[in-house]
Amino acid sequence: MSSYPKGPAPLPSTTSSSASKPFNDKFLYRFSTLLAVKILRRIRPRHGNVLMLTDRLCVKYGRRVHLSEASTMRFISQHTLIPVPRVLCAFTRNGWTYIVMERIRGDMIGSGWVHRSEESKTKLLAQLREMIRELRELKPPETMKVASVDGGSLYDCRILGPSMRFGPFDTTKDFHRHLRMGMEFNSKLDADVKDLIKQQSKSWPLVFSHGDLSSLNILARGDKVVGIIDWETAGWYPSYWEYTSACQVNPQNSFWINEIDKFLLPMPQELAMEKIRQKHFGDI
């Protein structure tokens, strides 16, 4: 992480981070979920903060899990044909959020990617392009905020700040000011930082973005994309955000950087802009 001096503190949120509401928050669902987690957490497989309850069900839970992820998956399933986990219930108890959902049978798309035929890769990437097209056709709310699907706060562990959540922001200008830790234009700044602030002054349309289209978050079965998971970073963002975020590939899946331009619109200028931001104001 760069030691570049930061400016004023980032803008505070303009809306409560709890804008998202519980779903199917009934006593029986809560009791069954909490009991299942208590009994099964030591004997059932888990991936990060997702516990596999059965072959068909899983629960994502923890202090950093947020109800907006459940709202996002329900929103996507209601307005697109993109395959996402079906949410059965979502609630918060004692500061922990629980999202119970159906499991999607499939493997991470990166599994065995290097051994796939070019024809197979082409089919899968074409499906991803179509899913991204559907995302881009979603209309932002009239408020036009950089925000979660419910108009609340956003999450991205790659963005520095006093907490893991940030925003929402009334304008992209406010969002970009937050990204550079409140830094404003000053003639004494380094040339690349001045250039960054000028570039961030441009305008981009707001589009709904997954925010982390890693090969780890795309599930495939054979030559079919059967699921896109982990929507915790999703929200209404400037249109370049999906591309620049996807380009921050996991080092263990470095091959994925060569595939991103095949299903997302390449935005090299914005990617260069983001690299400058990460150099001075990022942690990766």
> Do 88 and 115 share a structural domain?
no
Q: Is residue 89 part of a domain?
A: yes
> Do 67 and 111 share a structural domain?
no
In contact, 148 and 71? CB cutoff 8 Å: yes
Q: Is the pLDDT of residue 196 over 80?
A: yes
Q: Is the pLDDT of residue 26 over 70?
A: yes
In contact, 147 and 236? CB cutoff 8 Å: yes
Q: Tell me the C-alpha distance between 222 and 117, whole Å.
A: 11
Pick from 66, 86, 102: which residue ends a domain? 102
pLDDT value, residue 18: 52
Residues spanned by the domain of 246: 107-281
Give Cβ neighbours of residue 165 (< 8 Å, ≥ 6 apart).
Answer: 13, 17, 66, 153, 154, 155
Q: What is the mean pLDDT of the chain?
A: 92
> Do 96 and 119 share a structural domain?
no
Q: How confident is the model at residue 163 (pLDDT cuts 50, 70, 90)?
A: confident
> Do 93 and 218 share a structural domain?
no
The closest alpha carbon to 167, from 129, 108, 133, 211, belongs to: 211
> Do 237 and 115 share a structural domain?
yes
Pick from 41, 67, 102: which residue ends a domain? 102
Pick from 102, 128, 154: which residue ends a domain? 102
The closest alpha carbon to 269, from 216, 212, 196, 213, belongs to: 196
> Do 239 and 126 share a structural domain?
yes
- The CATH number covering residue 168 comes to 3.90.1200.10
3-state secondary structure 88-106: EEEEEECCEEEEEEECCCC
Rg (CA), the chain: 19
The closest alpha carbon to 214, from 165, 263, 176, belongs to: 263
What is the number of domains present in the chain? 2
Q: Is residue 5 part of a domain?
A: no
- ω into 268 cis (within 30 of 0): no
pTM: 0.91
